[in-house]
Amino acid sequence: MAVNGAVPKTRSEGRGPTIWLAGTPDELEPLMPLGIAGIVTNTVVLNQYAKEYGSVIDLIKAYLDITDKPVVMEIDGHTVKELLAVGKVFTDLSDQIILKIPCTVNGLEAFSVLKKEGVETFCTTVFSLTQAAAVAQAGVDHILPFCDPVKAVGGDPTQLIRECVRMFSGWEQRPFIMAALIRSVETAHAAFRDGADELVTMWTVYRDMMDHPLTEEWNKTFMDEWVDMHESGLLEGVPVTLH
């Protein structure tokens, strides 16, 4: 997908922050029409899910079959040449493909080359502001600060998001800041609060983001009133179904 494609267009229309999901094609298919921006993979989930589909390429094709939104393919390799060759296999599959590459010195050169080719890119495994600055200058389109792994070692999971927001605040064409490895609703809340443009999480966390005890309480209050109106005949002519 070119860098002037659907994802940057979302930000220019003021519709952020966006939510991206990870999961199997079967898990994600019913969720994609609900405002989800796209699908994101990493090599851990690829290794797990591809066994069911026969190969990584077949798995990616299955994702492409369930949505017309971006599908982010994480690639890896030991050299720049290998990264570019592997990436081309997947970008040739569809214009929906975005490449996700680890934060390495080889990644810097790959981002620079892919930027010139108009291929949209994500940089994963970002844990420092200096890394974020370097990959941004190399031309990456999305920077992925890892959140819950930092929390797991006693750190502030969204500190780097805040730092990136400040650092890029004066950039006219700054990269997107995507909160990554979000394993809880609490961390998702902190990421949005601290200014993340995007968030990627497993579909189960996305589901839990809709839960709140007060929401449940007030939804029950309003439903009870709705049922009472129906039973009192006040909703005559309205197609009400009681469960």
Does 8 have pLDDT greater than 90?
no
List the one residue out of 19, 32, 17, 4 whose CA is nearest residue 141.
4
Fold adopted by 6-211:
TIM Barrel (3.20.20)
Query: Is residue 110 within a helix (H) or strand (E), and if so which, with residue range?
Result: helix 105-117
For the whole model, what pTM was predicted? 0.91
pLDDT in tens, 75-114: 999 999 999 999 999 999 999 999 999 999 999 999 999 9
pLDDT in tens, 16-41: 799 999 999 999 999 999 999 999 99
* Cα gap 182→132, rounded to integer Å: 18
* Cα gap 25→31, rounded to integer Å: 10
Q: Is 55 in a helix, a strand, or coil?
A: coil
Whether 60 and 90 have beta carbons less than 8 Å apart is answered as yes
* Cα gap 200→39, rounded to integer Å: 8
Q: Is 84 in a helix, a strand, or coil?
A: helix
* Cα gap 204→223, rounded to integer Å: 26
Beta-strand pair 38-40/198-202:
unpaired
